Amino acid sequence: MIAIIDYDMGNLRSVAKAFEKVGAAAVVTRERSVLGKASHVVLPGVGAFRECMRNLESYGLVDEIIKAINSGKPFLGICLGLQLLFDEGEEDGPAKGLGVIKGKVLRFPAGLLDASGGLKIPHMGWNGIKKKKDSPFLKDVPDGSFFYFVHSYHAVPDDPSVILASTDYGVEFTSAVEKNNVLACQFHPEKSQHLGLKILKNFKEMK
């Protein structure tokens, strides 16, 4: 059973429906007992870094997230759920993250340029990923595959070995990470059609 953490942020039902499409039993919950019994845990998120951390703390979910990760069960962060795994986010001033992965979450620099002369922030729409290493999470996902992004901030890991994939948007940024049983993607697999579903199926099959 896959537990999707409910902290009043993000498109939780869309994530749950996507898992159901790949044959997974998924439940949206903030109940500690359910999170403890789940075989897999997912932290989605849409919104502001500081507010999301505040919600996780107010619902008593920070310790539950760390407990789930330390148990060794597969754990997936999606979009802001990736960013929250890092030490600190700079949105609206420095805010402490979960500290699972060392590094910071920074805003895209102003004045990003492409061949046409300019790129908008937020980074919104389809973009390709460059695979940095092999992983069961990206099994049967070709290098250069396109996924759907919506974000203005990106994670910068201290240790480049955790970077699973990167994406170019005026600068090359981290679009997926892997550290032991923790996986996370900056893009939205639930909005990324068949390849997004493939990634969720890969996650479901991890032990």
Give the residue numbers marked as catalytic: 79, 188, 190
Task: Name 107's bridge partners.
Answer: 153
Quick one: which of 80, 170, 160, 89 has its CA closest to 123?
Answer: 170
How many C-beta neighbours within 10 Å does residue 115 have? 4
Asked if residues 103 and 155 have their Cβ atoms less than 8 Å apart, the reply is yes
Asked if residues 17 and 190 have their Cβ atoms less than 8 Å apart, the reply is yes
CA distances from 168 to 85, 113, 119, 140, 174 (A): 22, 11, 11, 21, 9
Q: Which two tokens stand for residue 52?
A: 């999301």
